Amino acid sequence: MELAGRTADTVVASSKPWLSVKRALPALLVALAACTDKDAPIEPVEAIGSPRLAETPDPYEHSPSRFGVVPLHAGFSPDPRVVGGVALGEVRAKSIHRKCSGWISETPDYLLDADTAFFQLHVLGRSRSDVLLVVRKPDGAVLCNNNRNGTKDPMIRSEFPIGTTQVWIGVQEEGATAHYRLGFSEVKWKSSSIPLPDLD
């Protein structure tokens, strides 16, 4: 009987701390909540399923121009903006678009860098030789022209978005070269507004 009593006393005695913990648990939780730092910064939480914009590769990163960049913005002056160069017949213009004829250089002659969109921009080439004009816009759209109004002067009139447009002046035959002037304008103008190059 004594052994049984001791066993019973032992069980009762060992259960008392558990009862104390159970009774003290709510008070402990309240105390812990009071000890938290109210001024601690809250980390932003990313919304589940929120779309992430993939990095778009720059199509011109490995495609420098032969003669440089022409930076333009709406209302630029002087108008027309005129630059010059020498066309090379290295690759078929069809390599840019199947409907383009003639030959162009492997590398764009110029890069048109527009920091504002153009509702209408004229791009005109002038040469003593029969040249052609090819442009590829930032979205990949390609426009080409061999001549305008029965002249040897190619011209493209189009809207141009913000971004970098590749521009080529080409020739009619493989291996040929031609000195040219390349003009950009927001207004309607004549070919004579752009001087012919001194040399061919």
pLDDT tens track for 148-173: 666 788 999 999 999 999 999 999 99
Q: DSSP 3-state assignment of 112? A: strand
Q: Is residue 61 part of a domain?
A: no
Distance between CA atoms of 16 and 4, rounded to whole angstroms? 19
Indicate which CATH number applies to the domain containing 122: 2.60.120.380
For residue 107, pLDDT beyond 70: yes
Average per-residue pLDDT in the chain? 77
In terms of residue numbers, what domain contains 152?
A: 69-186
pLDDT of residue 161: 96
| 8 confidence band (pLDDT: 50, 70, 90) | very low
Q: Is residue 18 part of a domain?
A: yes
For residue 59, pLDDT beyond 70: no
Residues 27 and 124 in one domain: no
Residues 22 and 83 in one domain: no
For residue 24, pLDDT beyond 70: no
For residue 44, pLDDT beyond 80: no
Residues 108 and 24 in one domain: no
Residues 100 and 18 in one domain: no
Residues 181 and 108 in one domain: yes
Q: Is residue 174 part of a domain?
A: yes
pLDDT of residue 185: 95
Distance between CA atoms of 200 and 196, rounded to whole angstroms? 9
Distance between CA atoms of 60 and 181, rounded to whole angstroms? 23
Say how many domains are in the chain: 2
pLDDT tens track for 126-150: 999 999 999 999 999 999 998 766 6
Q: Is residue 192 part of a domain?
A: no
Q: Is residue 60 part of a domain?
A: no
pLDDT of residue 39: 46
* Residue partners of 119: CB distance under 8 A and separation at least 6: 159
Residues 77 and 164 in one domain: yes
What pTM does this model have?
0.67
Residues 29 and 128 in one domain: no
Report the share of the chain in percent with pLDDT over 70: 66
Q: Is residue 62 part of a domain?
A: no
Q: Is residue 122 part of a domain?
A: yes
Residues 73 and 171 in one domain: yes
**Which of the residue ranges 9-18, 163-172, 173-182 would you say has the lowest mean pLDDT?**
9-18
Residues 10 and 96 in one domain: no
Q: Is residue 177 part of a domain?
A: yes
Residues 100 and 23 in one domain: no
Distance between CA atoms of 172 and 86, rounded to whole angstroms? 14
Residues 157 and 82 in one domain: yes
